Structure 1
Amino acid sequence: MELELRHLKTIRAIADAGSLTRAATDLGLAQPALSAQLKRIERALGGALFERGRHGVRVTALGELVLERTRVVLPAVTELQQEAARFARTPRPAAAHLRLGGTHGPLLGALVDRLAGAVSEARVTTCTSWSDRELARLLVEGRLDFALAGTCGSAPPPAADGLVWREVAVDPVFVMLSDGHPLADRAELDLAELADAEWACVPGDGCFGDCFTAACARSGFTPRRMYETDTAALVHLVQVGRALGMCRAAFPTTPGVITRPLTGTPLTWRHLLGWHSVSQRDALATTVLAQARMAHAGVAARSDSYTAWLSARRDPAPPALP
C-alpha cells in the first residue's frame, strides 16, 4: 500500500482525539474500520504508530516522527490547494467575471449597479451570507473576488493570511419603528426611553448583539427580548408593532416603517470591502473600492433620516443671540 494524504490526516485525527473511538466519530467511520485502516498504514510504514491502552492511545517514537512530518505536509498541501484555486479562478488578463459577496442589504445591490457601468465588460455575480467569517473563507479559497462585510464599531474584520480589508464608510446605527409608534414624531430617541420594548435584528457572527446589550446596560436596562431573523421578517415585526429594529442608518425607506437616530450614537457600523492580495490586481481593487464608496453615498442619500442626521452634524445650529 502506498501512503496517501488521507492516511496522514487519519494519523493526525487519531493523535488529536487520543483514542480510536473518538477519532472514528470525528472522521465519520466505524471504529473497527478505522482500526483496520490504521493497521494497514502501520504495515506500510514499518511499525506501530500508537500503543493501545484502556484509556486511549499513546504515540510511539515512530508515531512522533510521522506526526512531526504531518505538521509540515498537511498545512503545505492545504496552502497549495488554496493558492491553486485562487490562481485558477483569477480572471486573466481582464476582469471577465467579478464575483461579489456580501451580507444582505442595499449596499451590495448598489455596488453591482455601479460596477455594471464602471467595468462594463465584466459579468457580475453575487453570493450573500450573514456570516463575515464565511465571506472571508470564500475569499481565501478563491471562490469570491471581493466581499462587502461589516464590523460593529472598531472591531477587527475576519483575519486570514493574505486578506486585505479597506473601509468603505461608517454608519450610525438607527432604531427602526412603525410609523404609528407613540415616539414616531420625534427626530431623535434616547435609548433609555425604549427600555420596555422588544427588539429584532438580523443574524451575524460578530459582536453586535453584545455591543447592543452593553449599550442598553449603560442606559440602565436589559433588553426584554431579541428576535433574530431575516430582513423581511424583521420589517414585518416592526410594521405590526411587535418589536423595534436595529438597522444601519442607510436602511432604505419602507412603507409603514421609519428610522430614527439614537442620542449620542451609542452604536456604529463599519462597512468594509475585502479581497485577497494574491488574487486581485491593484488597479481593479482600487476601482471596486471607489465604486463601493460611491454606492454607499448613493444609498445614504436616499434615506431622509440619515440625510437629516448628516446635515445636522455638518451645519450645527448657530449660537443663540444674547
Structure 2
Amino acid sequence: MDIDLRHLRLVTVVAEQGSVTRASNVLGMAQPALTAQLNRIDTALGGPCFVRDRHGTRPTPLGELVLRHARVLLPAMDAFSEDVRRHVSARTGEATSLRVGTVTTVLGGLFLNRLRSGLGGVALTSYTSWSPDEAATRLRRGTLDLALVGACENDTLPTDGDVEWFRLHTDPVFVLLASEHPLAGQDTVPLGGLAEESWLTAPGDGCFERCFVAACTRAGFAPHEVSEVERASAVEQVRDGHAVALVQPLLLDQPGVVPVALEGEPLSWSQYVGWRRDAVERFDVDVVRAAALGAHAEAVRRTPAYASYLERRDG
C-alpha cells in the first residue's frame, strides 16, 4: 500500500470541505487533478474513501478509518517538521520576522493568521497602503518582505525584475444594495438598471474607476456621482439608501445591506501575493502561496451569498 502524508492531507481536506470542488480551491489544485489523486488513493487502499452524490462528498467507512489515523499522524508530523524548522533556522539565519503589506484587499486578516500557522515561530508585522505600485517599490527596496494585493483585473502589477507576483483568484465585482432596494432580491442586476444611483468605490491608485466608467458607457449611461470611501463607510451609506457600492464580494455579511452580482460580470478584481525573487533564501514561498490560497478559499466559505453565486455560475 503506497500511501503517504500528502495523501492523508488530501483526504482530510476533502472530508472537511464536503466537496471536491471546494477542496480543490483550498488546496490550489485543479478539480480533475484532485479527482485523479483520490482515484489513485482509492486504488492503493483497495476501496473508495468517499461517496459523492447530490448532497456532497461523504466519507465511507474506509474513509472514516483513514481520517482517524490522519488526525493522529498529521499533527505529529507537523510538530516534527516545526521542531526541525526551528532548529535549522537557529543555525542558518532563516527569517525570524517578516514585514507584510496589504493593499486594497479584504483577505489580510485571514492571510496573516494562516501565515503565522504555516511559518510557526516567525514574527509578523503588517502594514497597509492603497497602492500596489508602492507595495512593489517597498518589496524591491526590502522594506517589505511580502505583500497581499488586490487590483483591477486590467491592472499590470510592477515587477522591476526583482518582484514576483502570484495570482490567487479573480473575483467578479458585486454591487452592494440596501436591503429595501427594489433590486435587492435579484440573483443578478444589470449595470444599466442602476444608472440613476450614486456610486461608492474603494480608494486606490489603479485603473478600477476608469474601468467602471467604461463599463457604464457600454451599458448606455454615464455615472453622475462616483466617490471613494473605505468599506465601513460604504456599508453605512448604502444601508441608509444614499448610494450603492462596488465591492469585493468576500466577507460581506452586514445587516441592512445585500451584495448582488452584476449581470455579465462587467468588472473583476484580482488578488495577488508578492515577494522578492530572492525570498526563497529566507522563507518558504510555498507556505506563503498556500496561506494566501487558503485565505481566499476560507473567505468564500464565510460568504454564503458569494459561495452560492459561484455554485450557480460554475454548475
Determine if the TM-score, normalized by the shorter chain, exceeds 0.5: yes
For 1:132 and 1:176, the matched residues in 2 are separated by 24
For 2:110 and 2:207, the matched residues in 1 are separated by 26
For 2:92 and 2:257, the matched residues in 1 are separated by 46
Match of 2:208 in 1: 208
Secondary structure at the residue paired with 2:312?
helix
Match of 2:180 in 1: 180
For 2:257 and 2:92, the matched residues in 1 are separated by 46
Match of 1:123 in 2: 123
- Name the amino acid aligned to 2:256: G
Does the 8 A contact of 2:167 with 2:273 survive in 1?
A: yes
Q: CA RMSD in A?
A: 1.7
Name which structure has the greater RCO, CA cutoff 8 Å, separation 6+: 2
For 1:222 and 1:174, the matched residues in 2 are separated by 18
Match of 1:164 in 2: 164
- Name the amino acid aligned to 1:308: S
Secondary structure at the residue paired with 1:278?
helix
Match of 1:28 in 2: none
Match of 1:37 in 2: none
Q: CA deviation at 1:114?
A: 0.8
For 2:92 and 2:243, the matched residues in 1 are separated by 49
Q: CA deviation at 1:245?
A: 0.4
Q: CA deviation at 1:104?
A: 4.3
* 1:29-108 → structure 2 map (5 Å cutoff): 93-108=93-108
Match of 2:139 in 1: 139
Does the 8 A contact of 1:106 with 1:252 survive in 2?
A: no
Relative distance call for 1:283 and 1:197 in structure 2 (3 A) is: same
Structure 1 residue runs of 4 or more that deviate by more than 4 Å after TM superposition: none
For 1:266 and 1:256, the matched residues in 2 are separated by 25
From the CA coordinates, give the structure whose radius of gyration is larger: 1
For 1:288 and 1:200, the matched residues in 2 are separated by 32
Secondary structure at the residue paired with 1:287?
helix
Q: Does 1:199 align with 2:199?
A: yes
Any unmatched runs of 5+ in structure 1? 1-90, 316-322
- Name the amino acid aligned to 1:297: A
Sequence identity (%): 36
- Name the amino acid aligned to 1:299: A
Relative distance call for 1:156 and 1:282 in structure 2 (3 A) is: farther
Secondary structure at the residue paired with 2:284?
helix
Does the 8 A contact of 1:145 with 1:280 survive in 2?
A: no
Match of 1:111 in 2: 111
For 1:313 and 1:252, the matched residues in 2 are separated by 19
Q: CA deviation at 1:154?
A: 3.7
> For residues 209-239 of structure 1, what are the alpha-carbon distances to aligned partners after superposition, in whole Å with 9 as ceiling and x for unaligned?
0000000001000001011122221121111
Match of 2:27 in 1: none
Q: Does 1:289 align with 2:289?
A: yes
Match of 1:223 in 2: 223
Secondary structure at the residue paired with 1:220?
coil
Any unmatched runs of 5+ in structure 2? 1-90
Match of 1:312 in 2: 312
Q: CA deviation at 1:99?
A: 1.3
Q: Does 1:262 align with 2:262?
A: yes
Q: Does 1:246 align with 2:242?
A: no
- Name the amino acid aligned to 1:198: S
For 1:92 and 1:169, the matched residues in 2 are separated by 34
- Name the amino acid aligned to 2:109: G
- Name the amino acid aligned to 1:175: V
Relative distance call for 1:280 and 1:99 in structure 2 (3 A) is: farther
- Name the amino acid aligned to 1:144: L
Equivalences, count: 225
Match of 2:299 in 1: 299
Q: CA deviation at 1:92?
A: 5.9
- Name the amino acid aligned to 1:223: P
